[in-house]
Chain A
Amino acid sequence: MFGAGGGTNSYREIEETDVILLWGSNARETHPIFFHHLLKGIHNGARLYAIDPRRTSSARWADGWLGLDIGSDIALANAVAREIIAAGLENREFIEHATTGFEAYKQALEPYTLAYAEKETGVPAHAIREMAHAYAKADRALICWTLGITEHHNAVDNVLALINLSLLTGHVGRYGCGLNPLRGQNNVQGGGDMGALPDRLPGFQHVEIAEYREKFDRLWGVPVPPKRGWHLSEMLEAMEHGTFRALYVLGENPLQSEADQALTRHRLESLDYLIVQDIFLTATAQMADVVFPAAAGWCESDGTVTNSERRVQRVRKAVEPPAGARDDIAILYDLARRLGHDWGEPQAEAIWDELRALSPVHAGMSYARLEAEHGLQWPCYDDTHPGELFLHSRLWERPVLGPRVAFHAVEHDPPVERLSDEFPLRLTTGRRLDDYNTGVQTSGYASPMRRGESLDMSPEDADRLGVRSGEVVRVTSRRGGIEVPVRIDEALRPGLTFMTPHFQDEVATNILTIDATDPRSGTAEFKAAAIRVERLGVT
């Protein structure tokens, strides 16, 4: 946000904030150690509001649970904003000082009354009002979110709706105030920071700005293509149209992790050539023309990852990889040599130092400092810079330093797949505490809590359908069907069902999910499919 793709705050700040909005995140189970910091905040007196369709284990810690209907986040956020303005609680001074577009935003909010929001979201008006007032009146307030915000067809608008709230109240750029996407994987943040985005060179330098490109051209001795590339969803679509012929997958299992599995299989099959580099022979690897066996990055090789508080951290080799498995960079260097480029000996620190020479926000992070200081937070401009505890303090400087930040009016737009008589139940997906994604890594250890996949549903829906806990049912969406046992979960409201992606080999949840994607971020609407549930052997 605001030109820097990372959460604005450090974990320690949530221990000393006053109000926390945990929006579309079950951090208690998906980011357990972050939640330790959040709990310290609660013990220190912070009020927590959990905005989640499910009454999750995180929500049980909240002062207020706003159990909204799936995909109604913008209706809720806009109603919060409208209420803040109606009650005169907006931060006028900050709005005038550091933002643009307020009047247009205010006008766009006009239809989002509490009554409208109650109708659209299912959250009682008084609960929305209470949260709006608590957030606006707090001295310090933080918003944290995860995939409940971003796995929607309008992911970017959802994020913008939350950013608007922080601008409206001046809850950004100060200690204990800000906006924090909690990253789902140990180096999602680092991947983006390093330029694994279609439009950015490392350090958020846009590829369409010549000045940045030339820096890389000079060091690498080859011209960097001057136009942005495709994100994952665009690539998958292009495969189908025959304009994308070869794919090199490193450490990912798209066949099982992408929405709409049948469609994904068809797309991968239409490639001329598929290379997979992974630590296991994944379902995707089994489709590949060539498989490069890789070492496990986190314990069989050296390098860095970056966490959700922008902290670059060292990973270190602790064990030797199995025979034949090699460090990712060694494989890439050998490939380069075969393609006619000798890059010398692969060394993680040398690659990092090259990055530091090109990305100003990483310039001060030598390996020696990363070791000595348990990692450093970007931006870290030089050898003496301590790294930034929180971002965007410039917005409070007088006069404001750099560009002002804009309000973006966004409109409520429900999930692509509407409920119907044929598909009357909403299916949403997410993680559990002890398992992870498609289960590759977690299937290796014996969690006493693991109970396999289930279709979780409310007691009311189970009653209505006449199904018992543990009964195997047929679940069907417009894309396909699977069989799965039912689990009754009082944390779910009537009409809402829940599954995980953890047991894809036994229950392929992503046969059901929809690949409706946000054209800007490329994320699929994993959070909102429409399904029906039928008892087996009953007609």
Chain B
Amino acid sequence: MSTDTVWFRPPPRPSHTPQPPEQPEPASVDLTIDGQAVRVPADWTILQACGSLGIDTPTLCYLENLTPVNVCRICVVELAGARTLVPACSRVVEPGMDIRTDSPRVRLSRKMVLEFLGSSVDLSTAPQAQAYAARYGACPERYGQPHAPSGPGERDAREPGHHHAPDGSAAETVAQPVKVDNDLYIRDYGKCILCYKCVEACGTDAQNTFAIAVAGRGFDARISTEGNVPLPDSACVYCGNCIGVCPTGALMFRSEFELRKQGQWDESRQTRTDTICPYCGVGCTLSLHVQDNRIVKVTSPLDVEVTHGHLCIKGRFGFEFVHGGDLKADANPEG
């Protein structure tokens, strides 16, 4: 309690509302997209410029809270004078660019990418990728019957330069058993498109834990913990920010995984309500996904300044106490 009587009253209101230091206005750039002239800030990407014209550019590896790694190549656009297609997500606008976003070359490239992904990866829990495949008329089936799945740990043991070229009789896939090694989340790398988002979220873009990275080369490349150890033996701190950014359901809450297995997962019966985490005083927004009056998943909106979509283990997984169960009788102390 204050004993300083001068502070018995709140301090006076400042004459001006506190503001961050003024940033110089970025220069603007004129360019043409699909024949339309557009003027945008010089630090924008082609993706942002397309967005300002209402052009829906497909992306899989891009997310606004992560640094673009431009690996999925589905956002490519045609730039007049450029030898190759350019990734819209990371290429910054330049004066006089003449860009086509829906040319036959762009459509073909996007279609091919989606076919390669669709023929080799299980996209059954990737609604966005499915929608793009339909949009671009991708036919992954034309690569033939899928190859038999790899056995447990088989893909993880592959070393660069040691694989054999496929004989073309079947479509190569990344199909493999689901990794279930803890109670909070599962890793189903048969659904992984190697977009790197989980690596980025675990790394410098958010969590800075660096528990996972890409191991292997070429078609053997895969996301791995250090030395391919199970998660409980790894550096993982179970923030689940990798789940939050995964576009294909390869990383999934254990609760969602089990409900899907039982055929009980039903998003049409789910509500999503934003509230604030009950733990520490940072004030993270939690989006509670509720089915049949039970919390089945927790996410955080990307556009909230406190979290930028990222949470810690308690915020993401620490909700079970609400539903009782075998809890100890215990309560919320001072701290």
Residue numbers of A with Cβ under 8 A of B are: 2-4, 11-13, 16, 30-34, 36, 39, 43, 147, 175, 182-189, 197-199, 203-206, 208-209, 228, 231-232, 251-254, 256-258, 278-286, 296-300, 305-309, 311, 313-320, 322, 360-361, 374-375, 379, 381, 385-386, 388-394, 397, 401-403, 406, 431, 433-434, 436-449, 501, 504-505, 520-521
Docked complex Cα distance between A309 and B16 (Å): 19
Residues of chain A within 8 A of B295, CB atoms compared: 299, 318-319
- The interface centre, meaning the residue of B2, B280, B315, B324 with most chain A CB atoms within 10 A of its CB, is B280
Which are the 8 A-B pairs with shortest beta-carbon distances? A257-B333, A307-B283, A183-B281, A444-B321, A282-B331, A206-B8, A32-B312, A318-B273
Min Cβ gap A102→B in Å is: 16
Is B214 in the interface zone, CB < 8 Å from A? no
Residues of chain A within 8 A of B315, CB atoms compared: 33
Docked complex Cα distance between A521 and B196 (Å): 49
Contact B306 A281 (CB under 8 A): no
Min Cβ gap B112→A in Å is: 36
Residue ID in chain A nearest B277 by CB atoms? A186
Contact A4 B10 (CB under 8 A): yes
Partner among A33, A297, A386, A390 whose Cβ is within 8 Å of the Cβ of B312: A33
Contact B284 A33 (CB under 8 A): yes
Contact B333 A254 (CB under 8 A): yes
15 A–B contacts from the bound complex (CB under 8 Å): A199-B2, A209-B8, A257-B334, A280-B329, A298-B276, A309-B306, A390-B18, A394-B13, A403-B11, A434-B237, A437-B332, A444-B320, A448-B184, A505-B328, A505-B330
Docked complex Cα distance between A32 and B83 (Å): 45
Contact A33 B310 (CB under 8 A): yes
Contact A437 B333 (CB under 8 A): yes
Contact B314 A448 (CB under 8 A): no
Min Cβ gap B289→A in Å is: 9
Docked complex Cα distance between A96 and B283 (Å): 37
Residue ID in chain B nearest A204 by CB atoms? B10
Partner among B238, B281, B284 whose Cβ is within 8 Å of the Cβ of A434: B238
Known: A186-B277, A434-B314, A438-B333. A11 touches B10 (CB 8 A): no
Contact B10 A439 (CB under 8 A): no
Is B169 in the interface zone, CB < 8 Å from A? no
Docked complex Cα distance between A523 and B324 (Å): 32
Docked complex Cα distance between A178 and B320 (Å): 37
Min Cβ gap A224→B in Å is: 15
Docked complex Cα distance between A32 and B17 (Å): 30
Residues of chain B within 8 A of A2, CB atoms compared: 7, 11
Docked complex Cα distance between A440 and B314 (Å): 12
Contact B18 A175 (CB under 8 A): yes
Contact A389 B19 (CB under 8 A): yes
Encode B1-14 as 1/0 by CB contact (under 8 A) with A.
11110111111111
Residue ID in chain B nearest A278 by CB atoms? B331
Partner among B3, B4, B323, B330 whose Cβ is within 8 Å of the Cβ of A439: B330
Residues of chain A within 8 A of B324, CB atoms compared: 322
Known: A390-B18, A401-B14, A521-B1. A31 touches B332 (CB 8 A): no
Docked complex Cα distance between A501 and B330 (Å): 12
Residue numbers of B with Cβ under 8 A of A are: 1-4, 6-21, 182-184, 204, 206-208, 231-232, 237-239, 271, 273-285, 288, 290, 293-295, 303-308, 310-315, 317-325, 327-335
Known: A3-B7, A186-B283. A199 touches B20 (CB 8 A): no
Residues of chain B within 8 A of A228, CB atoms compared: 1
Partner among B12, B19, B276, B330 whose Cβ is within 8 Å of the Cβ of A315: B276
Partner among A3, A198, A379, A448 whose Cβ is within 8 Å of the Cβ of B232: A448
Contact B1 A199 (CB under 8 A): yes
Contact B329 A286 (CB under 8 A): yes
Contact A433 B280 (CB under 8 A): no
Min Cβ gap A47→B in Å is: 17
Docked complex Cα distance between A43 and B203 (Å): 12
Contact A446 B3 (CB under 8 A): no
Contact A394 B12 (CB under 8 A): yes
Docked complex Cα distance between A445 and B185 (Å): 12
Docked complex Cα distance between A208 and B9 (Å): 10
Contact B11 A258 (CB under 8 A): no
- The interface centre, meaning the residue of A39, A309, A434, A445 with most chain B CB atoms within 10 A of its CB, is A445
Residues of chain B within 8 A of A206, CB atoms compared: 2, 8-9
Residues of chain B within 8 A of A306, CB atoms compared: 283
Contact A441 B318 (CB under 8 A): yes
Q: Is the interface of B mostly helix, strand, loop or mixed?
A: loop
Residue ID in chain A nearest B207 by CB atoms? A36
Min Cβ gap B252→A in Å is: 16
Contact A147 B273 (CB under 8 A): no
Contact A305 B18 (CB under 8 A): no
Residues of chain A within 8 A of B319, CB atoms compared: 299, 444-445
Residues of chain B within 8 A of A283, CB atoms compared: 329-331
Contact B330 A253 (CB under 8 A): yes
Contact B282 A34 (CB under 8 A): yes
Docked complex Cα distance between A74 and B323 (Å): 45
Contact B276 A31 (CB under 8 A): no
Known: A32-B239, A257-B334, A394-B14. A436 touches B294 (CB 8 A): no
Docked complex Cα distance between A438 and B331 (Å): 7
Docked complex Cα distance between A391 and B17 (Å): 10
Known: A30-B280, A434-B314. A4 touches B18 (CB 8 A): no
Docked complex Cα distance between A311 and B332 (Å): 22
Contact A441 B204 (CB under 8 A): no
Min Cβ gap B180→A in Å is: 12
Contact A188 B11 (CB under 8 A): no
Docked complex Cα distance between A265 and B312 (Å): 34
Known: A185-B281, A186-B283, A305-B276. A281 touches B329 (CB 8 A): yes
Known: A33-B312, A198-B1, A443-B321. A308 touches B281 (CB 8 A): yes
Residue ID in chain B nearest A401 by CB atoms? B12
Contact A254 B1 (CB under 8 A): no
Docked complex Cα distance between A342 and B184 (Å): 47
Min Cβ gap A28→B in Å is: 9
Partner among A39, A204, A360, A385 whose Cβ is within 8 Å of the Cβ of B17: A385
Contact B321 A184 (CB under 8 A): no
Residues of chain A within 8 A of B9, CB atoms compared: 3, 205-206, 209
Docked complex Cα distance between A315 and B307 (Å): 16
Residues of chain A within 8 A of B280, CB atoms compared: 30-31, 182-186, 436
Min Cβ gap A293→B in Å is: 12
Residues of chain A within 8 A of B334, CB atoms compared: 232, 252, 254, 257-258
Residues of chain B within 8 A of A299, CB atoms compared: 273, 275, 278, 288, 295, 319, 322
Residues of chain A within 8 A of B303, CB atoms compared: 374
Contact B331 A253 (CB under 8 A): yes
Docked complex Cα distance between A512 and B107 (Å): 70
Min Cβ gap B20→A in Å is: 5
- The interface centre, meaning the residue of B284, B307, B332 with most chain A CB atoms within 10 A of its CB, is B332
| Besides A209-B8, A402-B12, 14 other A-B contacts (C-beta < 8 A) | A4-B11, A183-B280, A184-B335, A185-B281, A185-B335, A206-B9, A279-B321, A307-B306, A314-B276, A379-B10, A386-B17, A394-B14, A437-B332, A521-B1
Residues of chain A within 8 A of B276, CB atoms compared: 186, 298, 305, 307, 313-315
Residues of chain B within 8 A of A314, CB atoms compared: 274-276
Docked complex Cα distance between A197 and B7 (Å): 15
Docked complex Cα distance between A227 and B173 (Å): 75
Docked complex Cα distance between A163 and B180 (Å): 50
Residues of chain A within 8 A of B323, CB atoms compared: 444
Residues of chain A within 8 A of B275, CB atoms compared: 298-299, 314-316, 318
Min Cβ gap A432→B in Å is: 10
Residues of chain B within 8 A of A254, CB atoms compared: 333-334
Min Cβ gap B323→A in Å is: 8
